Structure 1
Amino acid sequence: MAVDIGPFAIAQTVVAKGDIDVNVARHVALAQAAADEGARLVLFPELALTGYEPALAAGLALNVDDARLTPLREAAMRYGIVLVTGAPLKSAGPPRIAALSFLPDGTVKVYTKQHLHPGEDAAFAAGDGGPALQLDGASVALAVCADVAHAEHPAAASRWGAHLYAASMLVSEHGYENDAALLRAYAREYRMPVAMANHGGPTGGWASAGRSALWDENGTAVIAAPGSGECLLLARRDGAGWHARMIDTPA
């Protein structure tokens, strides 16, 4: 029997290069808009708090308790929402690419990207993964970009009983069809819905494809952004199936 999932939102953002304060403020506005529509979780793209900027990552890297993240922690508590976003995280060596999950109880869970793209090791260290999230009884497994290129990653999420595989991505137009095909195939193979949050604008020299999407447990597209630009996708699954729509973003 399928488990109810959501409501949750996929946030496709246009990032201000290296400006954590500006990006945090936009996250809070989008989180409020999603919460106003009933979302209990919002998924943002890879490195959405800084942009994908390997050359700047060491200087932008932060700790989980960085004061600049306080508005995200407060928003999660105020709106009763899980807010999942990306930043370079300080470590003993090069920073790690992290997905930081701000929870309604004021705590933060950390997932670090396990698999790096070729060349990323010049700026980042591989991470250790992290715990699944709970969304009103549904288990949400996180992934960050290159993680999805390794079949053992979604396979492990399925073995652990994930009800949703949530991937924070940076995907260019050139790479979109390949990555979307992988995610569709994982959804179908593991009977595990897959959500993808992609950047909506250029970052780190890459022209992002946008087209953030959700595929159901059959690998069928439930909803997708039409292209680039900022947007919010809202989705949920209940006994009647999937329900999804694009919602307005704040000015």
Structure 2
Amino acid sequence: MTALTLAAAQSISVPGDVPANIRRHMAFMQVAAEQGVQLLIFPELSLTGYEPSLAADLAIAPDAAQLTPLRVMARELGLTVVVGMPIRMAPDAGVMIGALVLGADGSRAVYTKQHLHPGEEVAFVPGQGGVALAFGDDRIALSVCADFTHARHARAAAEAGANVYAASVLISEGGYAKDCAQLQTYAAEYRLLVLMANHGGPSGGWDCAGRSAIWSADGRLLAAVPGVGEALLVARRNNDVWAGHVVAL
């Protein structure tokens, strides 16, 4: 296999402040490009913070003009980036928890969260998922938080040919051990590299755990951010061997 470099952005979102969060995303993108990253994923709802009560007002169309700086920067850096945001596909449509894929080639795609966490149905409607991302012979399946709590989601990704499972999440301190054990199990059972991007600070009233992590396809923990705060977690494959490291921001 060819060389491949992926990264998880452990970012901290300013509640409801999309312009400020876009600027912070761009700072992460610049550091990722300096590390040779080809695909960068952000946590769930990273552009707004996890703020269900604000989602209806903050919902963004995938082609919204306010996202232009991210699209342009992704293309200029040759970096594909996955950002989290509440998405409304039409004026009268419900709001979905989305992951917007801004391609290094200027393309745009949308993944929408299929499985809502209990209580999220008050603010959101279920989405339809999305196709895996192709990087040469590699196929990278996306997941947004509660999606991965359904084993069939990761299993379907592997059966469809994915060799990487990239999860954008909000995981609290209380749920961290259980959720990471589940992701680690998927890595070993389905022979997937698993990359998890978590919030680095509180969001929506949740005490987020940080500790974004990478597991190899045999279930070993390759690298993890040691705690909360902002950081870039990089997974790099050379000569078919994956290694991970943390870059402080």
**Counterpart of 2:56?**
58
In structure 2, C-alpha distance between the alignment counterparts of 1:135 and 1:59, rounded to whole Å: 35
SS in 1 for 2:71: helix
Work out whether 1:41 is the aligned partner of 2:47: no
Residue 4 of structure 1: CA displacement?
4.4
Residue 171 of structure 1: CA displacement?
0.1
**Counterpart of 1:32?**
30
**Counterpart of 1:11?**
9
SS in 2 for 1:7: strand
Gaps of 5+ in 2: none
**Counterpart of 1:169?**
169
Aligned length: 247
Q: Which string of whole-angstrom CA distances, capped at 9 and with x for unpartnered residues, describes residues 193-230 of structure 1?
A: 11000000000000100000000001110000001000
In structure 2, C-alpha distance between the alignment counterparts of 1:237 and 1:18, rounded to whole Å: 36
- Contact 2:3/2:239 (8 A) holds in 1: no
In structure 2, C-alpha distance between the alignment counterparts of 1:227 and 1:93, rounded to whole Å: 38
- Contact 1:113/1:126 (8 A) holds in 2: yes
SS in 2 for 1:129: coil
In structure 2, C-alpha distance between the alignment counterparts of 1:61 and 1:29, rounded to whole Å: 23
**Counterpart of 2:85?**
87
**Counterpart of 2:135?**
135
Q: TM-score, normalised by structure 1?
A: 0.96
Indicate the RMSD between aligned Cα atoms, in angstroms. 1.1
Residue 240 of structure 1: CA displacement?
5.3
- Structure 1 residues 214 and 5: CA distance shift in structure 2, 3 A: farther
In structure 2, C-alpha distance between the alignment counterparts of 1:8 and 1:152, rounded to whole Å: 24
- Contact 2:131/2:141 (8 A) holds in 1: yes
In structure 2, C-alpha distance between the alignment counterparts of 1:197 and 1:87, rounded to whole Å: 14
Residue 173 of structure 1: CA displacement?
0.3
Q: TM-score, normalised by structure 2?
A: 0.96
SS in 2 for 1:148: helix
Q: Which string of whole-angstrom CA distances, capped at 9 and with x for unpartnered residues, describes residues 16-56 of structure 1?
A: 00011110111111101111110011110000000000000
Work out whether 1:209 is the aligned partner of 2:184: no
Residue 106 of structure 1: CA displacement?
1.2
Residue 67 of structure 1: CA displacement?
1.1
Gaps of 5+ in 1: none
Aligned-partner residue type, residue 9 of structure 1: A
In structure 2, C-alpha distance between the alignment counterparts of 1:248 and 1:32, rounded to whole Å: 13
- Structure 1 residues 180 and 35: CA distance shift in structure 2, 3 A: same
In structure 2, C-alpha distance between the alignment counterparts of 1:97 and 1:174, rounded to whole Å: 22
- Contact 1:96/1:124 (8 A) holds in 2: yes
Residue 5 of structure 1: CA displacement?
5.7
In structure 2, C-alpha distance between the alignment counterparts of 1:86 and 1:170, rounded to whole Å: 11
Residue 248 of structure 1: CA displacement?
3.7
Aligned-partner residue type, residue 169 of structure 1: V
The worse-fitting range, judged by mean Cα deviation, of 34-43 and 3-12 is 3-12
**Counterpart of 1:21?**
19
- Contact 1:41/1:135 (8 A) holds in 2: no
In structure 1, C-alpha distance between the alignment counterparts of 2:2 and 2:196, rounded to whole Å: 19
Moved over 4 A (4+): none
- Contact 2:214/2:244 (8 A) holds in 1: no
Residue 174 of structure 1: CA displacement?
0.1
Residue 245 of structure 1: CA displacement?
1.3
Aligned-partner residue type, residue 44 of structure 2: E
**Counterpart of 1:195?**
195
